[in-house]
Amino acid sequence: MPPEELASTLRVLPLRVGIYIPDDLLEDWFAPGTGMDPPSETALAAAEAYGRQFECEFKYYPERREAVLWKWVPAM
């Protein structure tokens, strides 16, 4: 489970600003024990669903071995 500090941050995250989450934390926080090289589809889906709770977009970058959650700007 992600730390409460992440939820607190995502609640007040300004538009167009992102939070970067490395592979090892994706697995630890969203799907422990499912593997992180690469992160499991379960971990990625859970992280994406978590971000949606805070109106955040989600993208995983395998070449950087990290994911990003950010608030999108409508009509931009």
What lies within 8 Å, CB to CB, of 61 at 6+ separation is: 67, 68
Q: How far apart (Å, rounded) are the C-alpha atoms in residues 76 and 53?
A: 21
Q: Is the pLDDT of residue 17 over 70?
A: yes
Q: Is the pLDDT of residue 3 over 90?
A: yes
CB 22 within 8 A of CB 66: yes
Percent pLDDT > 70 in the chain is 97
62 preceded by a cis bond (ω within 30 of 0): no
What's residue 75's pLDDT?
63
Give the tens place of pLDDT for each residue, 19-54.
999 999 999 999 998 877 889 999 999 999 999 999
What's residue 72's pLDDT?
86
pTM over 0.85: yes
